[in-house]
Structure 1
């Protein structure tokens, strides 16, 4: 038995999969306890499992309203899972090990390397320290600003609690809110402070901790932004701007924005453009949006955040690599070049693999839901993409899902948080070194 466990835990991807699964199951069990929920009847295990998966995988899809169904204790359990899921359970475990002055083993460093999607273990412990410091600092700043604003609308104690909850939730791109009645931040659609703080928390959480470290250290004249940071920042900014413009155009005369002033429409457009980057926050009714807008949000959710961040999706760098490959092919160039740096061919292959794998999973899950749920195709595609991208936005379908539908969405959230390739490496057999290459053949493309 010991040998079997040793074999199972020999692979970093397997440790990540089992670690996240353990947190989900523990969280689901805690939410079943009487002190965690407000109702007299015990919640169904499928609902607590769904909620725990959504929290740990920092998604935000809910089958029951977070603000009214769960007690303060239940909400704190959810918040703890969000923090652990957002930063990664290995990050938290390493933090405790550092506090206890315990030596970090090579295997633990390899797991951290896999968790942060790094190319080597060099400097991985320093990165963990930075992750914790940056996360807590940003969350604290967000909590203070939210508290100041909420204090005008509710008792100070409630404002503090809601400020902390939403700051942690939004920075970790979880999208859970405790406003009640599934209304998210619709009460603050025209509020500049709430919208700007929310967008900043989401963006900072979605850039990735490597990029945040680069931005902090850019003050040093000897330091320059890495290629990774340049690609992430430029693509993230471009997607937010393009998304906001399209949402503004499509929804300008629609019922979702018709009653808003021009400035409020711009603010709402940007918030809705930032949110699909795996955050799950909305200030307007998504169900009332035009289908063109909903499809734009599906695309943004599929692309998602950036590597090493609290978000999901195929990642901005993956999309950039594919876009670069297309541009290079159209221009007749052999190399994919960004900022005067050539991208290794294996990076392009990996980007293509991740995208096709993710696309296949989303299509398969949507097809299955089409047979188990009686809803429109775009609603189902939106729900599945939101789950895979760990976004948390919904067109009102989540609470109406059947048992089979909930299982499908749970699986998609889990895969989306870990990444399809990590799950494949964890479940698949260990590949040996290839000892030969086949003769080259040719097929007609296009």
Structure 2
């Protein structure tokens, strides 16, 4: 029966993942719409606001139309936390763990789904990778929650400190962007707090590196080698984070509305926190809307690039950006081959990077134009919010809470596209590959 349904619906791995995320969003919307999911005295939540929150949590974005602390009860906040956890690690990850606990065999189809979900190159060792995903996630989140609990228990009751610590450890590691400090202020209270800043940066970096990279780093003592993928992710991540932090520090150093009022350590913490946050975390320690426009535009670029493949982050991915960059440099130098770390990149890989970038850029342009017709705000604010949704970042210049009904619906779809990835969605919506028995002759034309 299941096989017949799959055949009728043509449920490829890409379509199954898309359907799974849609179902999870629907369940989250229903739970957040329940009366006891809202704080007493708060007006009834509109369906579109519940849908927007559920989509943002499942797609680990962090854009919100209502304040999480003052709107949702403890039940509603826990629902959001669980959606962030499941959405960040992937529902297929939890389904696989449950199947393993029940001692069920993982079928070939399920392995294909896991390969698609984790953005892995092959199915080899995919189940072992899933075990490591859960292990790494639990250990990192537990360590971060312990540090936050001890740090915050000095100022607030232990129970409350533990609850906030668990929520924010999950949100930060999964690049969720949600917080429980109210007034849409994110973590501005902790801008000068070294314990919070250093801990948060480490777990955001860990979540954004990708589980394949974490697994290789974990096994490095035994293997004594790193794959090309891991080398590229580590190098590109490091460069983008450091360069982004330095540029933010230089641009905002004298801005009285952001870094200008902080001492030197505070300026450094804030600069590098925003640099890593813009890559997909969506949590901030300064008012994003108060930054200079040049800084906001640079953050749009960082949000568009995003994190690593197979991570909890979004964007076109750092590997895609690295491939485009070295391809352009190779062309400018007149090289026939594109090389990275003494490896030659195939043309298929370069074409895939170009396709991903083109689709993502097309989504950003299309959504920005649609929102520009309905929303009353500056175009840079619209572009910023759109890129934040596509990159599943969650940074906002204040436009999201003011969105029209149309704007909320458009951003819901945009966040889903960002979480699934442009290629996955293209494969989900497109027809199956058709191999032809012939090829057309090569054609030549002028470009540039």
Q: Same fold (TM over 0.5)?
A: yes
Q: Does 1:128 align with 2:130?
A: yes
For residue 414 of structure 2, what is the aligned residue in structure 1?
A: 412
Equivalent runs, 1:65-84 vs 2, <5 Å:
65-84=67-86
Match of 1:114 in 2: 116
Aligned partner of 2:244 in structure 1 is 243
Displacement of 1:181:
1.1
Query: Does the 8 A contact of 2:42 with 2:71 survive in 1?
Result: no
**2:221 aligned counterpart, secondary structure:** coil
> Is the contact between residue 8 and residue 14 of structure 1 (CA under 8 Å) also seen in structure 2?
no
1:167 Cα deviation from its structure 2 partner: 0.2
CA distance in 2, matches of 1:5, 1:232: 36
After TM superposition, the structure 1 stretch with the greater mean CA deviation from structure 2, 406-415 or 145-154, is: 145-154
SS at 2:323 equivalent: helix
Deviations 1:68-101 (A, max 9, x none): 1100110000001001000000000000000000
Q: Distance in 1 between matches of 2:398 and 2:52?
A: 16
Could you tell me which of 261, 268, 276 is aligned with 2:270?
A: 268
Q: Hey, what's the Cα distance between the residues in 1 that align with 2:42 and 2:385?
A: 30
- The C-alpha deviation readout for 1:271-301, integer Å capped at 9, x for no partner, is 0100011101110111110000000100000
Contact map agreement 1:387 1:412 (CA 8 A) in 2 = yes
In structure 2, what is the Cα distance between the partners aligned to 1:339 and 1:298?
28
Q: Is 1:37 the equivalent of 2:48?
A: no
Residue in structure 2 matched with residue 25 of structure 1 by the alignment: 26
- Aligned partner of 2:229 in structure 1 is 228
Deviation sequence 1:104-133 (CA, Å, 0-9, x none) = 111000000001111211110000000000
Shift of 1:41: 3.4
1:320 aligns with 2:322: yes
Q: 123-132 vs 3-12, which deviates more?
A: 3-12
| Partner of residue 403, structure 2 | 401
SS of 2:124 mapped into structure 1 = coil
Alpha-carbon distance, 1:432 to partner: 1.4
* Alignment partner of 2:442 out of 434, 440, 445: 440
Q: How many residues align?
A: 445
What displacement does 1:6 show?
Answer: 3.6
Q: In structure 1, what is the Cα distance between the partners aligned to 2:320 and 2:63?
A: 25
RMSD: 1.1
Q: 1:440 to 1:9 in 2, by over 3 A?
A: closer
Indicate the residue corresponding to 1:58 in structure 2: 60
SS of residue in 1 equivalent to 2:344? strand
Residues 17-416 of structure 1 correspond to what in structure 2 (within 5 A)?
A: 17-38=18-39, 39-220=41-222, 222-255=223-256, 256-416=258-418
Structure 2 length as normaliser, TM-score?
A: 0.98
Whole-angstrom distance in 2 between the partners of 1:63 and 1:157: 28
In the alignment, structure 2 segments of 5+ residues that lack a partner are none
Contact 1:58 1:390 in 2 (8 A): yes
- TM-superposed CA distance for 1:4, in Å, is 4.4
Are 1:11 and 2:16 counterparts?
no
| Residues in 1 aligned to 2:10 and 2:136: alpha-carbon distance in whole angstroms | 30
Structure 1 contact 9–15 (Cα < 8 Å) conserved: no
Partner-residue secondary structure (3-state), 1:246 = helix
Q: Which runs of 5+ in 1 are unaligned?
A: none
SS at match of 2:339: strand
Provide, for residues 334-392 of structure 1, a one-character-per-residue CA deviation record: whole Å limited to 9, x for no partner.
Answer: 11111101111100000000001100110000000000101100000000000000000
The 10-residue stretch of structure 1 (372-381 or 146-155) with the greater mean CA deviation from structure 2: 146-155
In structure 2, what is the Cα distance between the partners aligned to 1:336 and 1:135?
Answer: 35
